[in-house]
Amino acid sequence: MNDPTAPAAELVFTRAFEAPRELVFQCMTQPEHLTHFWGPAGTSAPIELITVDARPGGAFETVMINDADGSRYPTRAVFDEIVEPERLVWTETHSGMTVTVSFTDLGGSRTGVEIRQVRVPEAFRSPEAQAGFLTSLDRFAGYLATLTAGPGAEESR
């Protein structure tokens, strides 16, 4: 089943932040911080809808709410690994996608964050996962359409 030679497509994003690693790690794991940035432009992520049970097997749940029409985009995941302040790994239950967040101390109070997303092919083969993933694709497509729809879409703060 788990063919080690099967290539898994990866998506990697990196960013350097002007902040110490401990603080950046806290931001990614504490609802009072996540609420400030988890929802991309044009959405918000209310703190009361964020669950972070930061331990292996613990839940990581968020809801992004479209500011324009109130539509909701919940994401549920389960933590696989928590190594403070170096690494976070969670797997999304609807898509089977595993997200690894690595925090690197760049010195001088700067921190590199790498988001590595791996699709887990086996997980995608369950009908439930497939349906869930499609649903989230549809939602994202609709959500992005609203984001790019009108002027002023980028004035998010």
Interacting residues with another protein (CB under 8 A): 6-11, 13, 15, 17-19, 23-24, 27, 33, 36-41, 108, 113, 115, 117, 119, 121, 124, 127, 130-131, 133-134, 137, 140-141, 144, 156-157
The smaller minimum CB distance to another protein, of residues 34 and 79, is found at 34
Contact 121, 2 (CB under 8 A): no
| Residue burial 93-112, b: 16+ Cβ < 10 Å; e: rest | bbbbbbbbbebbeeeeeebe
Alpha helices in 30-65 (DSSP H): 31-37
CB of residue 39 vs another protein: minimum separation in angstroms? 8
**Cβ–Cβ < 8 Å for 63, 74:** yes
- From the CB of 18, what's the least distance to another protein, in Å? 7
Q: Which of 116, 108, 115 is nearest to 21 (CA)?
A: 108
Of residues 27 and 88, the one with the C-beta less far from another protein: 27
CB of 12 to another protein, least distance (A): 10
Query: What CA–CA distance (Å, rounded) separates 118 from 121?
Result: 9
Of 1 and 9, nearer to another protein (C-beta) is 9
CB of 152 to another protein, least distance (A): 15
Q: How far is it, in rounded angstroms, from Cα 104 to Cα 16? A: 9
Please say which residue, 8 or 56, places its beta carbon nearer to another protein: 8
Specify the residue, 83 or 134, whose C-beta has the smaller distance to another protein.
134
**Min separation Cβ 55 and another protein, Å:** 23
Helix (H, G, I), strand (E, B) or coil at 36: helix
